[in-house]
Structure 1
């Protein structure tokens, strides 16, 4: 069995927009991806490590533990052997309390890639393949999260291009989810049910050749 670790935030955790509830595993894109790969005869297990509010390498002044770099190496060690690591982070780097742009998120993603490749795995276990996913661009946020993401639709401009360039440089795989779907029609940041299904199916088709 090959294991895939999804390292992400609330977009992959599956928060239902405009609520504090969560989509079922089979509705979230990691679950959709696993089910699709199983239906194609792949013996895989998708492990979710998705924390609401997680940044790439930046701290949240209100909620501790949102720096994605902290503990990452140990999570890889814990879940090894891993065939693939999917990292979909950056959205929260653009919250109102960060004066960040796409280059700042790419700086953080670079540190995460380095940490994955130097994690203390057991001898003989593979260093996982890395797939960086750029989330759909943030739209004008609505509802309870509007203040938290004020101006994020401007700050996030160029994220996919920055990640694409980084992945070419660091020889990682890259997937631009923004070419597939927009962010939520409901709150402008997260993913709606049909968007989870689209992303899960598209990523299963993308990774089927190397898992």
Structure 2
């Protein structure tokens, strides 16, 4: 009997991509949480890693091309038959230069979720289950202290706004408030935290699939 594979799209920014805060390079597949998630869930699942540094929910960062989540999600929806979409965005929107309120960032998340639903409804296909990951705490240190000045004060409100939107859509919202960001740059996760996130997400996916 052929096993049915459940496809999971992890759509996020540099922490989904797996940026190593010590080297600036990418963690390998034995370290980043998206790859570990696939190993934790086992052979009945396929995780599609779609992290991109600097990706946003609201604006396209200057000089970085089309990195807005709304602009770049459709090719993944076209390419894969998805059962789950994990959205892990919002951190880059907190950069001081964008001057966005938590409410505006959350509206970007809501727009992205609505775009996903409209895409599948236009094809009369079932909408994948969405899981929202709210940004982790930010530590204002090093090269990012100026870039993210004031972001730490917005995070509690941002989580509340994200949670409200996820609840309205009847989707899960994972808080990373207990996950420590690195002392090196205050934004990205070290290897241990990638392990922790992979376990938290595997638990959510396992619960949503009834342990299949």
TM-score normalised according to structure 2 size: 0.89
Change (3 A) 1:46 1:121: farther
How many residues align? The count is: 205
- 1:95 and 1:54 map into 2 onto residues whose CA distance is 12
Structure 1: any 5+ residue segments left out of the alignment? none
Residue 4 in structure 1 maps to residue 4 in structure 2: no
Contact 1:6-1:87 within 8 A present in 2 as well: yes
- Give, in whole Å, the separation in 2 of the partners of 1:147 and 1:123: 45
Shift of 1:130: 0.5
Separation of aligned partners in 2, 1:54 and 1:168:
24
| Distance of 2:123 and 2:62 partners within structure 1 | 38
Distance apart, 1:147 and its partner CA: 3.0
The reply on whether 1:100 has 2:103 as its aligned counterpart is no
**C-alpha contact 2:142 2:186 (8 A) present in aligned 1:** no
Aligned Cα RMSD in Å? 1.8
CA distance in 2, matches of 1:196, 1:110: 26
1:24 to 25, 28, 36: 28
Deviations 1:142-167 (A, max 9, x none): 33333322332223342111111111
Report whether the alignment pairs 1:117 with 2:110. no
The CA distance in 1 between the partners of 2:111 and 2:90, in whole Å, is: 13
- How many Å apart are 1:71 and its aligned residue? 3.0
Matching residue of 1:56: 57
Would the aligned equivalents of 1:89 and 1:134 in 2 still touch at CA under 8 Å? Answer: yes
- Give the TM-score, by structure 1 length: 0.90
Shift of residue 192, structure 1, vs aligned partner: 1.0
Question: Is residue 68 from structure 1 mapped to residue 64 from structure 2 by the alignment?
Answer: no
What stretches of structure 2 of length at least 5 have no aligned partner? Answer: none
CA pair 197-168 structure 1, distance change in 2 beyond 3 A: same
